[in-house]
Amino acid sequence: DAKTTQPTSMDCAEGRAANLPCNHSTISGNEYVYWYRQIHSQGPQYIIHGLKNNETNEMASLIITEDRKSSTLILPHATLRDTAVYYCIVRPAFQGGKLIFGQGTELSVKP
């Protein structure tokens, strides 16, 4: 399975966009990029996923580079409730909930 590299921590001002990077240079052609977040002492929450194209939903946008070796999760207007650990995960097709979690990025949104 492809490994991901994320910064350990990041800060963001409330109301500004939070851009969380992820490197996945060994990603294979059939592997998706997934993003989950985990607020302290809760279960992880699914945010978004993509294969090649950029994706957007009500929570966030996912930008995947053309060579698919890196991606960026964008929270367009961060709030204090977005403070959490964000996990970037590369998952082969047809693996369902079999996910390999790294240590993620701890995002702190500050007033």
Partner 1 sequence: DGGITQSPKYLFRKEGQNVTLSCEQNLNHDAMYWYRQDPGQGLRLIYYSQIVNDFQKGDIAEGYSVSREKKESFPLTVTSAQKNPTAFYLCASSPDRETEAFFGQGTRLTVV
Question: Interface with partner 1 by CB under 8 A: which residues?
Answer: 34, 41-46, 49, 87, 93-104
Q: Of 58 and 67, which CB lies nearer to partner 1 in the complex structure?
A: 58
Q: Output the smallest distance, CB 12 to partner 1, in A.
A: 21
Q: 75 has which bridge partners?
A: 18
Shortest Cβ distance from residue 13 to partner 1 (Å)? Answer: 25
Q: Which is nearer to partner 1, 53 or 67 (CB)?
A: 53
Residue 44 CB, shortest distance to partner 1, in Å, is 5
Give 94 or 111: the residue with its C-beta nearer to partner 1: 94
Tokens of 106: 């701890």
Task: Write down the least CB distance from residue 94 to partner 1, Å.
Answer: 4
Report CA 86 to chain centroid distance, whole Å. 6
Residue 42 or 53: the one with the smaller Cβ distance to partner 1 is 42
